[in-house]
């Protein structure tokens, strides 16, 4: 059974896709996919209970998807084309379908382990990507190939460990980095009380209260981060900024972060 948080994020995703009928059809297909749900749940079990990491399961993958949809919509409203549009081989809807698939499956590789999980995610996601694309576009091989390619590039590039080239994959990279609030660290912090290497990621995430993504003033996308303690700067500087720096979509983002009650620092 899905959690209240999963259902809540799904509702946001559906609302953000009201003007994209094929994308709506795709997310509804994926939200009802029993195999994908089981895989997301198991990935989270391995991440939290076996390895002691933050949430990498159904809530996280839905949140990354919601973040990516919001950012891609902002770019679209600002008149900025995706890579598929700019190269005149696909449309905005193709790009959106690609990031939806990537967002909902980018961490499936955590079912196997942390090391190289982005490559494992591609292997595990590929059959689902192919059958989902076939369900939505049964008579359009061209669109299926485009969407699968964007999805796989976005999945394999989400750790900033390899060069990616599309705006779409760059958006997933940033969207993933933006899911680092205290809710994501709540369960692992409760389960693991013995100090060990890597705890700084959980404690820094627990200091981040809110992340908001909206239209910027100098650039199309603005990300605002509010923290309860300065340890949260570690998460921003070591995780989020690393991903933004590797993203082909960096040029479209401005980033502000600060401790509540203090002046926010402008990073980008």
Instruction: Give the pair of three-digit tokens for residue 214.
Output: 């909206």
Residue with structure tokens 């980033």? Answer: 255
Cβ-contact 203, 228 below 8 angstroms: no
Q: What's the predicted TM-score (pTM) here?
A: 0.92
pLDDT value of position 119: 98
Is the CB of residue 211 less than 8 Å from the CB of residue 182?
no
The per-residue pLDDT for range 18-28, each reduced to its tens digit, is: 999 999 999 99
Is a pLDDT exceeding 80 seen at residue 192? no
CATH 3.30.300 assigned to 182-266: yes
Chain segment 73-111, per-residue pLDDT in tens: 999 999 999 999 999 999 999 999 999 999 999 999 999
> String of b and e for 226-249 (b: at least 16 CB within 10 Å)?
bbeeebbbebbeebbbbbbebbbb
- Tens-digit pLDDT profile for residues 45-68: 999 999 998 899 999 999 999 999
Provide the pLDDT confidence category of residue 204 given band limits of 50, 70 and 90.
confident
**Residue 194 pLDDT more than 80?**
no
The pLDDT of residue 181 is 84
User: What counts of helices (H) and strands (E) characterise the chain?
Assistant: 13, 4
Q: What are the domain boundaries of the chain? A: 4-176, 182-266
Q: Which residues is 212 bridged to in the sheet?
A: 224
Q: How far is CA 182 from the centre of its chain?
A: 16
Q: Using CB atoms within 10 A of its CB, is residue 193 exposed (0-12), middle (13-18) or buried (19+)?
A: exposed
Sign of the four-CA dihedral 174, 179, 185, 188: negative
Give the percent of the chain with pLDDT over 90.
Answer: 85
Confidence of residue 182 (pLDDT cuts 50, 70, 90): confident
């Amino acid at each position: 059974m899905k959690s209240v948080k999963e259902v809540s994020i799904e509702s946001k995703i559906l609302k953000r896709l009201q003007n994209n009928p094929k994308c709506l059809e795709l997310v509804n297909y994926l939200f009802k996919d029993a195999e994908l749900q089981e895989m997301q749940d198991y990935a989270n079990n391995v991440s939290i209970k076996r390895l002691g990491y933050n949430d990498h399961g159904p809530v996280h993958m839905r949140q990354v998807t919601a973040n990516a949809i919001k950012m891609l919509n902002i770019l679209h409203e600002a008149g900025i084309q995706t890579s598929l549009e700019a190269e005149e081989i696909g449309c905005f809807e193709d790009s959106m379908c690609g990031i939806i698939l990537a967002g909902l499956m980018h961490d499936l590789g955590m079912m196997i382990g942390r090391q190289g999980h982005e490559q494992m995610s591609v292997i595990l996601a590929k059959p689902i990507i192919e059958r989902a694309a076939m369900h939505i576009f049964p008579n359009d091989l061209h669109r299926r190939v485009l969407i699968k390619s964007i999805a796989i590039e976005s999945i394999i590039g989400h750790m900033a460990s390899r060069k990616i080239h599309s705006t779409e994959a760059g958006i997933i990279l940033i969207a993933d980095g933006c899911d680092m609030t205290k809710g994501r660290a709540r369960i692992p912090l409760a389960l693991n009380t013995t100090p060990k290497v890597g705890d700084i990621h959980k404690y820094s995430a627990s200091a981040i209260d809110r992340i908001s993504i909206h239209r910027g003033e100098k650039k199309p996308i603005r990300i605002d981060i509010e923290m309860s303690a300065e340890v949260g700067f570690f998460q921003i500087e070591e995780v989020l900024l690393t991903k933004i720096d590797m993203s082909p979509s960096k040029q479209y983002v401005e980033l502000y972060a600060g401790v509540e009650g203090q002046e926010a620092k402008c990073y980008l």
